[in-house]
Chains A and B, each alone.
Chain A
Amino acid sequence: MKAEPKTILNFLSTYYEPIKDLFEAQSKDGYVRKEVVNKILKENESDIFNQLVEYKFLKKLGDDFEIRGVYFKFFEFILNEFKPLLPETIEKYERSISSLFKKIKEGISKDRNILVQRITELYNEVREFSDAVEKNTMRLVAETRELKANVDKIDYKEKVRKASFWIDYYITPLNSILDVTHSQSITNHLFEISQYVNVRRLNFDDEGTRLQFEKLYNFLIQTNDDLMRQSKILTNELLPLIERIRTESLILTGWIEFLKQPYKAPLPKVFKVYRDLPYSNDMYWNAKEYVEQFEGNDEIILEDVALEDFEKWIFNKELYRSKLIQSLPVSSFFEWAGKTLKGEYKAIETDKFFSLTTLLFEEGIILELDPKSDRQLIKTSQMNLRVPKIKITKHGIS
């Protein structure tokens, strides 16, 4: 490159706006299309295409362009806008760090120059790993807060989709990389390395190498603190924040489903006030609340029913008593009564149903009632009756 470093920095500063737009285009698409380059330069009235190529800012990619890695990383850094790395990408550091550490242990008594070189490389790998984790955490914090603030007013389904995406692909895997309680986590490997390095920095016979170990040890201690901090952010801040979005959406789904049929849906139990003392301060309100529960919304129309519509029906107790005895055992008396009437008259008329109920009080009938069991709904011609499940096992006399 012919240009002076200062010239390049001046250029970046002078044409900061179009360069930032190019950076954003690449952040979004992974490269910058030729038309986009032309559009950005035209919008900013900057005829700087030649300099962008000359200073190796843009690299040709077929007909399109790409911002060179070194510039892109520089802009990521100064704009604090990092593209999160997938945790599996971060995990590659585990391999390189473990491999270098293994070589250091194996070559500890061999060539000093190589040993020092390996210590330096290990230092660099740990730094890159730590930087990657920090960048990811920063980005995840920004994403999660944005999701929480919901400035774009995205709907709850989309919010949950995004929250689940960040949790499943980034936060949870990153957390397991940093989890000290997990024996295979990188954090634990680093801890193991720092223990080894701690011994070497004290007892290695060559002073220069000892100093390198000392430097690496201090750096590992600092990195460990940094990673613990990142892990805490993930565990204490991000996971609850994002979990809350999930909970919130679950509740909202519940309410939307409930509001579809509020008069048919099950309900949470609310204590029914039984007693009202006339001298209680709340007497008026409690009485009002009590009366209001009977206020139906349906219009009630009372019609006179002509008497001739009814046929006179005489309850033949003996007949139904023997029918009942024949049907024993009966698991639900009222269900039996309903079915018997329906079988005979195609409908269950309330007065007939009540007449049959008197069979329960007949001598010799042995009843069993489980007070905890659910009630049954019997629909008679005039009303819906909720009745207990009464079991009749046998007739005492027979």
Chain B
Amino acid sequence: MEFPRYHKDIVTDLLDGKFILATDPKFVELKNSQEFYTSFFKESFGFDVELKSDYAYILSAETNEQLSRDICIFFGLLCYEMDKDGKNFLEEVQYAEFDLDMIDNYFENSSYIDLIQNNNQLKNSENRKQFINTLGRRNILEKNNDKKFSFTPAYKVFMDFAANFAKGKLSAPESEVELVDEN
């Protein structure tokens, strides 16, 4: 049987939770063989392939809630602080290069200091650096050197989430049944 080019790398990357970006030759291959990969991941693992115009990733029924929450808190705080600083945060996230010192500055002077200090990944400079590395490994951002990085189009997953959140489109993930005492 003939497999698409980069098959092993595509599968490995996606199973490692990485976003495959449009700038990566693997993306073209994945897009050209979309039907194959959709059924391959569904049949082999029960995962869904999400293919967007400039990035792709897979999803399973189980989700890494902790990482998702940390990423959302990180983006939420960053966008809030940049807006407060008079910047067009969407443009910054899309085009600008970020510096760890700048991130430290925003987080250390944030009015959300309680939230930051209670979050293991974001509470201090060293942990934030490690967190940035985690995002780098998932291809949510690209490290330009030890201190500088830029976001990849994968940031859109989280911005779309925030927009939908504002529209009130999201509901709690599970129905919670409160048992009523019938006596």
Docked CA distance A52–B130 (Å): 70
Please classify how large the interface on chain A is, using the bins under 10, 10 to 19, 20 to 34, 35 or more: 35 or more
Smallest CB-CB separation from A335: which chain B residue? B177
Which B residues lie within 8 Å of A256 (CB)? 76, 80
Decide yes or no whether B162 CB sits under 8 A from chain A. yes
Contact B64 A259 (CB under 8 A): no
Our pick among B67, B73, B130, B164 for the contact of A259 (Cβ within 8 Å) is: B73
Give Cα A295 to B73, complex, Å. Answer: 16
Whether B90 pairs with A257 at a CB distance below 8 angstroms is: no
Known A252-B79, A257-B166: A268·B181 in contact at CB below 8 Å: no
Cα distance A327–B30 when bound, in Å? 52
Contact of B68 among A270, A274, A292, A335 (CB under 8 A): A270
User: Is residue A285 contacting chain B, with contact meaning CB distance below 8 A?
Assistant: yes
* Residue interface mask B127-157, A partner, CB < 8 A = 1: 0001001100100000000000000000001
Chain A positions 252 through 270: 1 when the CB is less than 8 Å from some CB of chain B, otherwise 0: 1111111100110111111
Interface string of B24-47 (1 = CB under 8 A from A): 000000000000000000000101
The answer to whether B75 and A255 touch across the interface, beta carbons within 8 angstroms, is yes
A377 to B175, CA, bound (A): 7
From A286, which residue of chain B is reached at the shortest CB distance?
B16
Considering the complex, give the chain B residue whose CB is closest to the CB of A264: B172
In the complex with contacts A254-B165, A255-B79, A375-B174, A293-B66 CB distance below 8 A: yes
Interface residues of A in 266-288 (CB under 8 A from B): 266-275, 280, 282, 285-286, 288
Name which of A148, A254, A374, A376 has the most chain B CB atoms within 10 A of its CB.
Answer: A254
With A153-B86, A258-B165, A268-B161 as contacts: A293 and B67 at CB distance below 8 Å: yes
Complex interface: stretch among A68-76, A78-86, A90-98, A339-347: A339-347
* B158 neighbours in A (Cβ, 8 Å): 268
Q: Pick from B63, B130, B167: contact of A269, CB below 8 A.
A: B63
Interface residues of A in 315-371 (CB under 8 A from B): 332, 335, 338-339, 342-343, 346, 348
- Interface residues of B, CB < 8 Å — how many? 65
Asked if residues B88 and A150 are in contact (CB atoms below 8 Å), the reply is: yes
Inter-chain contact B176/A248, CB cutoff 8 Å: no
Alpha-carbon distance A338/B176, docked complex (angstroms): 13
Set of chain A residues within 8 Å of B137, measured between Cβ atoms: 282, 285
Which residues from chain A contact B14 at a C-beta distance below 8 Å? 271
* A271 with B57: CB separation less than 8 A: yes
Contact residues in B for A250 (Cβ distance below 8 Å): 162-163, 166-167
Distance A319 CA – B65 CA, assembled complex (angstroms): 41
Q: What chain B residues lie within 8 Å of A153 (beta carbons)?
A: 86
**Residue A60 CB within 8 A of the other chain:** no
Of residues B59, B72, B119, which shows the largest number of chain A Cβ atoms within 10 Å of its Cβ?
B72
Residues of A within 8 A of B112 (CB): 259
Q: Are A262 and B72 in contact (CB under 8 A)?
A: yes
Contact flags (1/0) for B104-121 with A, using CB distance below 8 Å?
Answer: 000000001001001111
User: Is B4 in contact with chain A by the CB < 8 A criterion?
Assistant: no
Does any Cβ of B come within 8 Å of A251's Cβ? yes
Q: With contacts A268-B157, A273-B16, A292-B121 known, is A376 near B174, CB below 8 A?
A: yes
> Pick the contact of B120 from A269, A273, A295, A376 — CB < 8 Å?
A295
**Are A273's CB and B15's CB within 8 A?**
yes
Given A247-B90, A376-B176, A271 contacting B80 (CB threshold 8 A): no
Which residues of chain B are near A273, meaning CB under 8 Å? 15-17, 64
Q: Considering residues A252, A270, A280, which has the most beta carbons from chain B within 10 angstroms of its beta carbon?
A: A270
Task: Write the nearest CB–CB distance from B115 to chain A, whole angstroms.
Answer: 7
A39 within 8 A of B: no
User: Which residues of A have CB within 8 Å of B64?
Assistant: 270-273, 289, 293
Whole-angstrom CA separation of A263 from B134 in the bound complex = 20
Supply 29 A–B pairs (Cβ within 8 Å), ascending by A: A245-B88, A248-B83, A251-B159, A251-B166, A252-B80, A255-B75, A255-B80, A256-B76, A266-B172, A267-B65, A267-B72, A267-B161, A270-B17, A270-B63, A270-B64, A272-B17, A273-B15, A273-B64, A288-B130, A289-B134, A292-B66, A293-B64, A293-B67, A297-B120, A332-B177, A335-B179, A343-B181, A376-B174, A377-B176
Known: A156-B83, A271-B57. 8 other contacts (CB 8 A): A263-B69, A271-B14, A272-B60, A274-B45, A288-B130, A335-B177, A342-B179, A343-B183
